[in-house]
Structure 1
Amino acid sequence: MGIDEGWPAGLTARPIGKDDAVAWAELLAAKEKVDAEGENYDADDLIEELADPSLDAARDTIGLWSGEQMIGYGVVRAPDEVVDVHRVRTEGTVHPQWRGRGIGSALVPWLNRRAAELHHERQPGAQGEINTGTIDTNTSAKELLADLGFEKCRYFFSMERDLGKPVEVPALPAGVRLVPFTPAYDEPLRLAHNEVFLDHWGSTPKSPDSWKTWYTGSRAFRPALAYLVLDGDEVVAYTLGYEYVADTAATGIREVYIGQVGTKRSHRGQGLAALALAKVMAEAAAAGFQRASLGVDADNPTGALGLYERLGYTTKNTWITYRLPLD
């Protein structure tokens, strides 16, 4: 699929490379000032995303340029495996000063076409759909997606908790151990995570490469803020914490992001996830973090929303995932 196909006059389009990371970060910073999504990136964050081994940046990314300024971008990603539906995810934006000129109306169809190609290349026999998301306060994005045939399919809450308030770590139940993450647990943790999230909407098993890229190999991962619950030598529950330095630079608030919380089905109902999460929060507070945040599926089947509310988290904003079926 070509990339020079009907963009507004004066713009050029090309795949995104590592040398574009600074311009890409500037575009996302401009977006954040207007859209207020609570997401900030520096160039190193974006270079890390481009290093994802499952991403073919030459075909799955696009940057839109006016001279030396990146004024729009798009990325298409497909999961490692299929559980029920092959959900190809797209993302993108247009610089706020360039909105209202038809750029988004050209960008989304490009993303859709590349998503369809990726689906047919990787999982031609599976049911497929495009998933994309937006914060619920972005009226123009919601209208554009609706106009292009997308329908709402899932809601997610971004939640936060002030770590200036005391964190009570529950007592450890008999028969299990709470241990800090070390590299020796990395592969057992990956396998446990894959098992835990099989019943979560949109989740797919993570390959070793994907796990390293987005989880324990990420530059944001903080091993000192990751705790596991063991039954014997088996990982049965866990909480993993991350720190995004670009967020701290933008907000002045040091925040631990709770990226993954899970308990194996065989050990649910014992408060193990609450134990691991509270421990991470307490350790973060002791290390000088001022706030904890996380995201949760509004229809999470394990009751995670209630757990987070009991631990003092409140909803900051709501995100909507949209779907478009692929033939």
Structure 2
Amino acid sequence: MSWPEGIEARPIDKGDVEAWAALMAAKEKVDQDGENYSPEDLSEELDLPHLDLPRDSLGLWADGRMIGYGIAHVATSVVDVDRVRAEGTIDPEWRRRGLGTALMHWLIRRAGELHAAKHPESPGQVGAGTNSDNVSAISMLERLGFKPERFFFDMRRPLDQPVPEVQLADGLRLASYDPAYEESLRQAHFEAFSDHWGWTPPTVEAWRQRSVGARAFRGAQSYVVLDGDTVAAYVNCFEWEADTEATGVRELYIGQVGTRRAYRGRGLARATLAKVLAEAAQAGYERASLGVDADNPTGALGLYERLGFTTHKKFTNYQLPIRSDV
């Protein structure tokens, strides 16, 4: 692919994380997605085991600045559809010059290559998400043939509000996360999310890197419901220090909430979330946030609303079928 004169296009590596963080900060000022990243956060992203950085990533540079980037993420397994996730952005100062469209063409082509190499036996899609208020991004995706497929809500709750006390059934107990629970937690998560849209079981390494092994994971603020040695339900929490620095608000992000199927309908998620919220307030957090699928099959949206969460932003996941000739 040819790029305009003065634009250098090359794969991203660990030496680029400072420039990448600056690009993401410029993006956030305009797009207001509620996402802030430090160079250390982004360095961790480049360690994801499924990424082949020389082939799956692209950085765009001008005058020594990273002005755009794209990364294609392929799943290690497929349940129904091979969804290759495309992420990227263009620096707001460099938008409306065709760079975003060109970058998305590159991502679509790379997604087709990954699908053909990894999961050609399954139907394939390119997936891309955007803030539902981002008119320019939506317009670009629709021009390229993307269609909206799924909707997600970003929800927030101030922690100066009272938290209801919720009791567990006899024989069950709440405990903050301990590394001894890691394998039982993983099994609970895989079971809890197996009926969710877009779920594909990651490798153990990938799951750990995205959860209990992540630098943003906060074990002291994460809780599990134990039935003997079995994790019956759980809430995994995270804190991005770059968010606090950018917003001045210390926020606890509730990243994963799940209940094993045999334990559903017993109020375990509500009890665990109530404990997390109460303890977060005691620990000095000012706000809790989370993301939820609008069509979550477990009724999570209603649960969060009853606990005082309100919708802050809406995001749309778009999809484009991968053609066999891509």
Alignment match, 1:286: 282
The alignment partner of 1:129 has SS state of strand
Query: 1:22 is matched with which residue: 3, 8, 18?
Result: 18
Q: Distance in 1 between matches of 2:118 and 2:32?
A: 35
Unaligned residue ranges in structure 1 (runs of 5+): none
Report percent identity of matched pairs. 56
Alignment of 1:6 onto 2:2: yes
Q: Give the conservation status (yes or no) of the 8 Å contact 1:74–1:91.
A: yes
Q: Distance in 2 between matches of 1:45 and 1:282?
A: 27
Alignment match, 1:233: 229
Calculate the TM-score normalised by the size of structure 1.
0.97
Alignment match, 2:186: 190
Q: Distance in 2 between matches of 1:278 and 1:88?
A: 35
Q: How far off its partner does 1:169 sit?
A: 3.0
Query: 2:243 is matched with which residue: 240, 247, 252?
Result: 247
Aligned AA (1:86): D
Q: How far off its partner does 1:86 sit?
A: 1.0
The correspondence of residues 1-327 of structure 1 with structure 2, limited to 5 A, is 5-327=1-323
Q: How far off its partner does 1:117 sit?
A: 0.7
Unaligned residue ranges in structure 2 (runs of 5+): none
Q: Distance in 2 between matches of 1:177 and 1:81?
A: 34
Q: How far off its partner does 1:235 sit?
A: 1.2
Q: Distance in 2 between matches of 1:229 and 1:169?
A: 15
Aligned AA (1:200): H
Cα RMSD of the aligned pairs, angstroms, is 0.8
Aligned AA (2:27): K
Q: How far off its partner does 1:213 sit?
A: 1.2
Aligned AA (2:112): A
The alignment partner of 2:220 has SS state of strand
Q: How far off its partner does 1:187 sit?
A: 1.1
Q: Distance in 1 between matches of 2:208 and 2:195?
A: 22
Q: Distance in 1 between matches of 2:116 and 2:182?
A: 33
Q: Distance in 2 between matches of 1:206 and 1:154?
A: 21
The alignment partner of 2:219 has SS state of strand
Aligned AA (2:59): G
Calculate the TM-score normalised by the size of structure 2.
0.98
Q: How far off its partner does 1:127 sit?
A: 1.4
Q: Distance in 2 between matches of 1:92 and 1:8?
A: 18
Q: Please identify runs of 4+ aligned residues in structure 1 that moved more than 6 A.
A: none
The alignment partner of 1:199 has SS state of coil
Q: Distance in 1 between matches of 2:195 and 2:255?
A: 17
Q: Distance in 2 between matches of 1:281 and 1:117?
A: 44
Q: Give the conservation status (yes or no) of the 8 Å contact 1:169–1:282.
A: no
Q: Distance in 1 between matches of 2:47 and 2:67?
A: 22
